[in-house]
Amino acid sequence: MNAIVTVIGKDKVGIMAGVCVAFEKTNVNVLDISQTILKDMFTMNMLVDVKNANVSFSELVDILDKEGERLGVSIRIQREDIFDAMHRI
Amino acid sequence: MLNQHEIIETLNMIDNQHLDIRTITMGISLRNCGHPDAKIAATKMYDKITKYAENLVKTGEEIEKEMGIPIINKRISVTPMAIAAESSETEDYTIFAKAMDNAAKECGVNFIGGFSALVQKGFTIGDRRLINSIPSALAQTDFVCSSVNVGSTKAGINMDAVKLMGNIIKDTAEKTKENDGLGCAKLVVFCNAVEDNPFMAGAFHGVGEPECAINVGVSGPGVVYNALKGVKGAPFDVVAETVKKTAFKITRMGQLIAREASSRLNAEFGIVDLSLAPTPAVGDSVARILEEMGLETCGTHGTTAALALLNDAVKKGGVMASSSVGGLSGAFIPVSEDEGMIEAVHKGVLALDKLEAMTCVCSVGLDMIAVPGDTTAETISAIIADEAAIGMINQKTTAVRIIPALNKKVGDEIEMGGLLGTAPVMPVHKESSYDFIMRGGRIPAPLNSLKN
Decide: B158 and B384 in contact? Cβ < 8 Å. no
Q: To the nearest whole angstrom, how far is the Cα of A6 from the nearest Cα of chain B?
A: 8
Are A85 and B11 within 8 A, CB to CB?
no
pTM of the model: 0.93
Q: Residue B220: pLDDT band by 50, 70, 90 thresholds?
A: confident
Contact B67 A80 (CB under 8 A): no
According to the model, what pLDDT value does residue B259 have? Answer: 93
Higher pLDDT, B108 or B274: B108
Do the Cβ atoms of B343 and B369 come closer than 8 Å? no
Query: Mean pLDDT across the stretch A42-62?
Result: 94
- Angstrom CA distances, B282 to B216, B238, B347, stand at 24, 25, 17
Lowest average pLDDT, out of A9-13, B3-7, B266-270, goes to B3-7
> Cβ of B10 and A58 within 8 Å?
no
Residue-level pLDDT at B281:
85
Q: Which residues of B touch A77 (CB under 8 A)?
A: 68
CA-CA distance, B88 to A45, in Å (whole number)? 60
B421-438 average pLDDT score: 95
Cβ contact B299:B245 at 8 Å: no
Nearest C-alpha of chain B: how many angstroms from A14?
Answer: 22
For residue B67, what is the nearest residue in chain A, using CA coordinates? A78
Task: State the smallest CA–CA distance between residue A40 and chain B in angstroms.
Answer: 17
At residue B3, the pLDDT reads: 83
- Calculate mean pLDDT across residues B252-269: 93
Distance CA B444, CA B376 (A): 26
Judge: A47–B1 Cβ closer than 8 Å, yes or no: yes
Angstrom CA distances, B417 to B280, B336, B413, stand at 10, 10, 12
pLDDT of residue B35: 97
pLDDT tier for residue A88 given thresholds of 50, 70 and 90: confident
For the cut 90, the answer to whether the pLDDT of residue B4 exceeds it is: no
Q: Does A85 contact B253 at a Cβ distance shorter than 8 Å?
A: yes
Residue B238: per-residue pLDDT? 97
State the pairing for strand pair B212-219/B187-191. Answer: unpaired
B4 contacts in A (CB within 8 Å)? 34, 36, 43, 45
Instruction: Please give the Cα distance from B151 to B398 (Å, whole number).
Output: 10
Task: Determine the pLDDT at residue A21.
Answer: 95
Range of the domain at A26: 2-87
d(Cα B154, Cα B443) in Å, to the nearest integer?
Answer: 11
The answer on pLDDT for B223 being more than 70 is yes
The string of DSSP codes covering A18-83 is HHHHHHHHHTPEEEEEEEEEETTEEEEEEEEE-TT-SS-HHHHHHHHHHHHHHHTEEEEEEEHHHH
Q: Which domains, and CATH codes, for chain B? A: 25-191 (3.20.70.20), 216-438 (3.20.70.20)
* B392: CB partners within 8 A, 6+ apart: B151, B152, B153, B156, B157, B191, B192, B443, B445, B446
Tell me the per-residue pLDDT of B5-49, one tens digit each, with 9 for 90 and over.
889 889 888 888 888 899 999 999 999 999 999 999 999 999 999
DSSP B149: E
pLDDT at B1: 67
Overall domain count for chain A:
1
Q: Does A56 touch chain B if contact means CB atoms closer than 8 Å?
A: no
Tell me the chain B residues in contact with residue A61 when contact means C-beta distances shorter than 8 Å.
65-66
- Quickly list DSSP for B300-360: STTHHHHHHHHHHHHHHHHHHH-S-B-TT-EE--BGGG-HHHHHHHHTT---HHHHHHHTT
Distance (Å, rounded) from C-alpha B257 to C-alpha B64? 9
Nearest Cα residue to B149 out of B161, B163, B167, B166 = B161
Q: With 70 as the cut, is the pLDDT of residue B205 above it? A: yes
Side chain identity at residue B359, one-letter code = T
User: pLDDT digits over B167-190, tens only?
Assistant: 999 999 999 999 888 999 999 999
pLDDT for res B46: 98
The pLDDT of residue B309 is above 70: yes
pLDDT digits (tens, 9 = 90+) for B75-99: 999 999 999 999 999 999 999 999 9
Q: Closest Cα of chain B to A68: distance in Å? A: 16
Q: What is the CATH number of the domain that holds A23?
A: 3.30.70.260
Q: A55 in contact with B at a CB cutoff of 8 Å?
A: no
- Mean pLDDT, chain B, whole residue set: 94
Q: Are strands B442-443 and B71-78 parallel, antiparallel or unpaired?
A: unpaired
Q: With contacts defined as CB-CB under 8 Å, which chain B residues touch A31?
A: 1
Is residue B22 a contact partner of residue B73, using CB atoms and an 8 Å limit?
A: yes
8 Å CB contact between A60 and A50: yes
| Rounded-to-integer distance, Cα B117 and Cα B105, Å | 23
Question: Is pLDDT of B283 > 90?
Answer: no
Q: Which residues pair with residue B146 across a beta bridge? A: B115, B187
Question: Tell me, what's the ipTM?
Answer: 0.86
Residues B6, A83: C-beta atoms closer than 8 Å: yes
